[in-house]
Amino acid sequence: MTWPPFLLHALLAGTAIAAAAGLVGYFVVLRAQVFTGDALSHVAFTGALAALAVGIDERFGLFAATIGVGVALGGRGRADDVVIGTVFAWILGLGVFFLTLYTTNNSAGNGNAGVNVLFGSIFGLNLSEAVTAAIIASVIVAATLVIARPLLFASIDNAVAAARGIPVRMLGYGFLALVGAAAAEASQAVGALLLLGLLATPAGTAQRLTTRPYSALLISAALAVAEMWAGLALSYTMPALPPSFAILAVATGGYALALLSTRRRAQSVTASVVVSELSSKINH
Amino acid sequence: MILAEGPSWNPIIDLQQMWSFPFMVNAFRAGTIVAVLAGAMGAFMVLRRQSFAGHTLSLIGFPGAAGAVLVGVAASYGYFAFCLIGALVIAALPRAGPGGYSEESAVTGTVQSFALACGFLFVALYKGFLNGINALLFGNFLGITTEQVALLGVVAAISLTVLGMIGRPLAFASIDPDVARARNVPVRALSVAFLMLLGAATAEASQITGTLLVFALLVMPAATAQALTARPVRALALTIAIGLLVTWLGLSVAYYTPFPVGFFITSFAFAGYVGAQAVRHAPSRWRAGGTPATPTPPGTAP
């Protein structure tokens, strides 16, 4: 059986993107920054459409907007949710403006550009786009793995980590830049509106399955990749299902199974396991 | 948007001209109802710090409306059904303790993206509806019928009456739940009732502003008002006034330009918020009367 090129491109980009989103997403959930991820999904929409409206590469706008806003939100410490909400509500209004600008100036162009940005078009990637996405995602994976250990420590207990000489502020900025990059990558796969699912769902499932942080990190990435493959396969065999829906449906199903099959564990158990594990490793 | 010529800049003539079109009259009526309702709900939402819940509720309307169109009933029913069910689901989730937040937010994020994905599936299944998706997401104020305005008015009247009845204990329970509980205020029941009201309000407002921009009308006037005053009643009145002003301005400007109403409403509201923050952070001697620095109102503290 020969696979059609669009499926191979989707698999290549999707695998790398899912691994990056799974790794970064674990920390997003652990650090309780899901609302920030929610805000970035709106920012991604506006960034992509602004780039389209002025006629440059959509991905350039995506990365510039998500990384820029991610780092700006990080500058406020843990920003207040009313402030985040007010800012992203306006940024979204700006996105609507760019959408109108783009569709009225390009009547011959793609009238569904807004829909593609919001809900993704992973089956529409060409070879060079897929390769670029995969390379950037691999860089995000590598960077996350490099800072994983100090980041984990800082996420669980910021004060103790700072006392041990870990540069927690720098780490926070660096991490939000990674979240921004991962959000831009994820919106190429499942779209700006749904990227939160790719970040939060595998991570939430992994936290359900284990209390050990390194295992949870790897499980989150592995789950994201497996769910990406299953979703792509499902959408390929049943063309009525859009790929973004199929990927998120599989991921949500996985979370529901994990919820049903595990007893509720107290989060404090997770925290104490993490702290003891990290302290022992750092002491050695 | 409709006329080739611009405004005459005489407000009376411009208003007469705009209101000579029945759809503009309906747009103003609907916008007024929605602004009052969303303002009142938003003031409590910001006070209770439930922005994430409010945002999720407003997004849940999208699959509701898309599903309703798919099965062939009016989108209004879909909005109301999904927003009210969503409110019940969020109310059923236990409020997170300090340690449980990370798990609760993961669940909320999952539910939210899955709901949006379902909405996209419904739209994809209903072929040919793809152009309508922008109206669902970003609103369309041109096609509002008189019956819709009547329905909006009835729902708003009921919601505001209920909110008026529970307003005082709700504010008490929002500001200090522990003391309220000790005084036998039914905190949990009030929380469920408020989420249902919030669901009804988002379902209503979605039909004018679209699912993606409802949240702007909920959060921005309330955030602006609470940056300006710490007194609950004054903040509530100010919230509604700001909501009305930005909605009317947005509708009027959108009428004369090719750009969508949602952009203008969010931009005016954001300009108001930035202005309010500037006033709040300005040195107190610059303010009229040299009033002493106001205490940081709840919901706006960084």
Q: What is the pLDDT of residue B165?
A: 92
pLDDT at position B158 over 80: yes
CB-based contact B109 A200, cutoff 8 Å: yes
Summary mean pLDDT of chain B: 80
Nearest to A212 by CA among A169, A276, A159, A158: A276
Mean pLDDT value across residues B244-256: 89
Query: CB-based contact (8 Å) between A234 and chain B?
Result: no
What's the Cα-to-Cα distance from A84 to each of A4, A72, B219, B284, rounded to whole Å?
42, 11, 10, 26
Q: What is the pLDDT of residue B97?
A: 44
CB-based contact B219 A111, cutoff 8 Å: no
Q: What is the pLDDT of residue A122?
A: 86
Q: What is the pLDDT of residue B99?
A: 42
Distance CA A224, CA A247 (A): 9
What's the Cα-to-Cα distance from A221 to each of A202, A271, B178, rounded to whole Å?
7, 20, 41
pLDDT at position A172 over 50: yes
Question: pLDDT band at B19, cuts 50/70/90?
Answer: confident
pLDDT at position A267 over 60: no
The shortest C-alpha distance from B9 to chain A (Å) reads 24
Q: What is the pLDDT of residue B297?
A: 45
Query: CB-based contact (8 Å) between A50 and chain B?
Result: no
**B213: which chain A residues are within 8 Å (Cβ-Cβ)?**
89, 92-93, 96
Percentage, residues of chain B above pLDDT 90: 17
Question: pLDDT band at A227, cuts 50/70/90?
Answer: very high
Residues in chain B: 302
Distance CA B43, CA B222 (A): 5
pLDDT at position B285 over 80: no
pLDDT at position B293 over 50: no
pLDDT at position A283 over 60: no
Q: What is the pLDDT of residue B137?
A: 76
pLDDT at position A265 over 70: no
Q: Residue B55 has which token pair?
A: 């945002």
CB-based contact A119 B213, cutoff 8 Å: no
Residue pointed to by tokens 């996420």:
A155
Question: pLDDT band at B298, cuts 50/70/90?
Answer: very low
Distance CA A198, CA A119 (A): 12
Q: What is the pLDDT of residue A1?
A: 59
Distance CA B266, CA B5 (A): 25
Nearest to A25 by CA among B4, B214, B78, B110: B110
Distance CA B228, CA A260 (A): 47
CB-based contact A82 B262, cutoff 8 Å: no
C-beta of residue A168 within 8 angstroms of C-beta of residue A283 = no
Q: Which CATH number among 3.30.70.20, 2.60.120.200, 1.10.3470.10, 3.50.50.60 corresponds to the domain A5-283?
A: 1.10.3470.10
- Which of A45-59, B14-28, B272-286 is modeled with the greatest confidence? A45-59
Distance CA B270, CA B278 (A): 12
Domain boundaries, chain B: 11-212
Q: What is the pLDDT of residue A88?
A: 84
Residue B94, classified by CB atoms within 10 Å of its CB into exposed (0-12), middle (13-18) or buried (19+), is exposed
Question: pLDDT band at B132, cuts 50/70/90?
Answer: low
Condensed to tens digits (0 to 9), the pLDDT of residues A71-105 reads 887 655 555 778 888 888 888 888 888 888 887 76
In CATH, what class is B11-212? mainly alpha
Question: pLDDT band at A146, cuts 50/70/90?
Answer: very high
**CB-nearest partner of B266 from A29, A92, A196:** A92
Q: What is the pLDDT of residue B221?
A: 93
**CB-nearest partner of A196 from B112, B266, B302:** B112
Residue of B114, B118, B174 for testing the chain A interface, max A β-carbons within 10 Å: B114
Condensed to tens digits (0 to 9), the pLDDT of residues A89-145 reads 888 888 888 888 887 766 545 556 777 788 888 888 888 889 988 999 999 999 999
The shortest C-alpha distance from A233 to chain B (Å) reads 16
Distance CA A47, CA A68 (A): 10
Q: What is the pLDDT of residue B128?
A: 60
Q: What is the pLDDT of residue B10?
A: 74
Helices in chain A by DSSP H: which ranges? Answer: 5-30, 34-54, 58-74, 81-105, 113-119, 127-156, 158-163, 168-189, 195-209, 213-237, 243-261, 267-283
**CB-nearest partner of B106 from A89, A112, A203:** A203
Mean pLDDT value across residues B189-196: 89
CB-based contact A35 B51, cutoff 8 Å: yes
Condensed to tens digits (0 to 9), the pLDDT of residues A24-34 reads 999 988 887 88
Residue A205, classified by CB atoms within 10 Å of its CB into exposed (0-12), middle (13-18) or buried (19+), is buried
CB within 8 Å of chain A, chain B residues 120-139: 120-121, 124-125, 130-131, 133-134, 137-138
| B163 against A261, higher pLDDT | B163
**CB-nearest partner of B266 from A93, A207, A249:** A93
- CB neighbours (10 Å) of residue A268? 12
Q: What is the pLDDT of residue B103?
A: 67
Instruction: Report ipTM (2 d.p.).
Output: 0.82
Least confident of A226-235, A265-274, B117-126: A265-274
Distance CA B252, CA A152 (A): 51
Nearest to A248 by CA among B110, B123, B122, B104: B110
Mean pLDDT value across residues A183-204: 87
Residue of A86, A102, A275 for testing the chain B interface, max B β-carbons within 10 Å: A86
Q: What is the pLDDT of residue A225?
A: 94
Query: CB-based contact (8 Å) between B276 and chain A?
Result: no
Distance CA A109, CA A188 (A): 19
What's the Cα-to-Cα distance from B294 to each of A78, A118, B85, B181, rounded to whole Å?
23, 42, 40, 28
Residue of A nearest to B101 (CA): A32
- What sign does the CA torsion over B123, B126, B132, B136 have? negative
pLDDT at position B296 over 70: no
Query: CB-based contact (8 Å) between B300 and chain A?
Result: yes
Phi (first) and psi of residue B260, to 5 degrees: -70, 150
CB-based contact B113 A201, cutoff 8 Å: yes
Q: What is the pLDDT of residue B124?
A: 82
C-beta of residue A121 within 8 angstroms of C-beta of residue A189 = no
pLDDT at position A210 over 90: no
Q: Which DSSP string corresponds to B103-165? A: HHHHHHHHHHHHHHHHHHHHHHHSTT-TTHHHHHHH---SS--HHHHHHHHHHHHHHHHHHHH
Least confident of A7-16, B96-105, B149-158, B199-208: B96-105
Q: What is the pLDDT of residue B294?
A: 45
pLDDT at position A218 over 90: yes
Summary mean pLDDT of chain A: 83
Domain boundaries, chain A: 5-283
Question: pLDDT band at A217, cuts 50/70/90?
Answer: very high
Q: What is the pLDDT of residue B4?
A: 46
